[in-house]
Amino acid sequence: MAQPARGPFPCARHGLRRKCPPFASRVRRSLAATRLDPLGLAGWRVCLVNLGLVFANRAADDSTTMNDLRIREGQHEDCDSVLALWRLAGVRPSVTDTPERLRLFIEKSGGLLLVAEAAGQRVGTLLGGWDQWRGHIYRLAVHPDYRRRGIARALVGEIERRLRDRGAARIYALTYTEDGAAFWASLPYERTSDTAFVRTFR
Ligand SMILES: CC(C)(COP(=O)(O)OP(=O)(O)OC[C@H]1O[C@@H](n2cnc3c(N)ncnc32)[C@H](O)[C@@H]1OP(=O)(O)O)[C@@H](O)C(=O)NCCC(=O)NCCS
């Protein structure tokens, strides 16, 4: 049986971004306005309007920087949505992509299917593997509308924690896409010269 879902996780721990430049520049402009016209009403009006926009901007930024991101363990009822998300994300289809196999994985892996949720939607997934020797990461996929917001990084951070808890000293991640290669290169993962050989039983 899968363990109970965990989360939400603090965004800072996963390096989720805040988009700050408008905030900094508006504060600068507000202060500049009062310096130009220190006693006049006009300067202070500009200052107050700018500060109002600062807070409005900060509220808007919060909604676009995934503050509501939750990483949790996948459950049986996630299977169909996870398979659909893989197809939508463009993950290469495999003979292993069936609801039955995914259900078995959830039961046997003890919490190594992770699902990222934002705005009530499943927006990312990842499978972790632990064979008592190495850790593995498979099926990392993020919904196309939610990319470049740190979701994959958050998923990897959480699976690394779980694999290390099981004793992993090394984690292997396979990718065959340009996005995937760029993503792994952005983390402290080294490209290996290993050649992968695969046998498929049908
Ligand atoms: C690869 C993938 C999982 C990345 O997900 P993501 O949530 O967008 O990644 P993140 O936002 O966590 O990216 C973290 C960093 O990785 C790098 N990165 C991610 N995608 C990138 C891209 N397409 N091009 C260049 N760099 C990229 C960047 O350095 C990024 O940080 P930045 O946005 O601050 O510059 C996503 O593009 C995807 O699902 N692709 C299709 C499936 C796939 O290729 N899976 C790979 C494993 S099989």
Q: Where are the domains of the chain?
A: 8-66, 70-185
Whose CA is closest to atom 34 on ligand 1?
Answer: 148
Decide whether any atom of ligand 1 lies within 6 Å of the 148 Cβ.
Answer: yes
**How many angstroms is it from 122 CA to the middle of ligand 1?**
17
Residue 67: the pLDDT is 81
Residue 74: the pLDDT is 98
Q: CA 46 to CA 27: how far, in whole Å?
A: 11
Q: Write the DSSP assignment of 90-113 as a string of letters.
A: TPPP-TT-SHHHHHHHHHHHTS-E
Tokens coding 179: 């996005």
Q: CA 138 to CA 127: how far, in whole Å?
A: 5
Please count the CA atoms within 13 angstroms of the CA of 49 that sit on its side-chain side. Answer: 8
pTM of the prediction? 0.76
> Topology of 70-185 in CATH?
Aminopeptidase (3.40.630)
Q: CA 112 to CA 69: how far, in whole Å?
A: 18
Q: CA 119 to CA 121: how far, in whole Å?
A: 6
Residue 35: the pLDDT is 52
Decide whether any atom of ligand 1 lies within 6 Å of the 88 Cβ.
Answer: no
Consecutive 10-residue averages of pLDDT for the chain (202 residues): 38 39 46 51 48 39 66 98 97 95 98 96 98 97 97 98 98 96 98 95 89
